[in-house]
Amino acid sequence: MHSYTAEPLSRFDIRKIVKAFRELLGVKYESYIDVVTLLDILGKKLKNFSYEVVANNTLPKKVFATTDVQTGKIKIKEHIFNKACDGNGFARYCIAHEIGHYILLVLCGFGLAKADNSIKIPKFRDPEWQAECFAGEFLMGYDAVKNYSVNELVTKCCVTKKAAIYQYNMFRK
Ligand SMILES: [Zn+2]
């Protein structure tokens, strides 16, 4: 989606959306979010959401998962899905990233527009930055874990150390 620009959303905007989403799911104060089970819950609750685990060779090498904003369908490579089931932080983040695309672009309906490739997209208008931001904020919910140490974030939220350090710093901005 690199050639698209999205309606502007700051981290603070995304944190508010995550808060509402977590409340809706009844997990406002949960430090651990089971993203794999959540895929099934969303599939049951929302008409326009679906996901499919696909063979590793059906998506390009560097793509782990995709979200089709027209159909609301998330495709996840089999090895990523399996790793997420085993609690792998990177794979869990990939799935949360795609859920972010779905929530922001499909459910909330923030618009996308074709970008002029000669102009650098500011990060708050970049749908990839927005989905990354969503993933961090969602897996490490502000109300639940804002006072956690980096190590607590890693073990209790089940994220990578890199993601934990990044979010730890974002909580203190
Ligand atoms: Zn993405």
Tell me the CA–centroid distance for residue 150 and ligand 1, in Å.
25
Q: Which residues hold their Cβ within 5 A of ligand 1, which is an ion?
A: 128, 131
Measured CA to CA, the distance from residue 46 to residue 38 in angstroms comes to: 12
Determine the pLDDT at residue 100: 98
Tell me the CA–centroid distance for residue 66 and ligand 1, in Å.
7
Determine the pLDDT at residue 158: 98
Look up residue 89 and give its DSSP letter: H
Mean pLDDT taken over the chain: 95
Tell me the CA–centroid distance for residue 153 and ligand 1, in Å.
23
Determine the pLDDT at residue 1: 43
Determine the pLDDT at residue 116: 83
Tell me the CA–centroid distance for residue 102 and ligand 1, in Å.
10
Measured CA to CA, the distance from residue 131 to residue 169 in angstroms comes to: 18
Tell me the CA–centroid distance for residue 82 and ligand 1, in Å.
19
Handedness of CA 48, 67, 109, 167 (dihedral sign): positive
Tell me the CA–centroid distance for residue 134 and ligand 1, in Å.
11
Residue 14: how many other CB atoms lie within 10 Å: 24
Which residue ranges of the chain lie beneath pLDDT 70? Answer: 1-2
Is residue 161 within 8 Å of residue 154, measured between CB atoms?
yes
Determine the pLDDT at residue 106: 95
Please state the pTM of the whole predicted model: 0.95
Measured CA to CA, the distance from residue 129 to residue 115 in angstroms comes to: 15
Angstrom CA distances, 93 to 7, 44, 84, 113, 167, stand at 23, 22, 9, 25, 13
The values of phi and psi at residue 172, to 5°, are: -105, 15
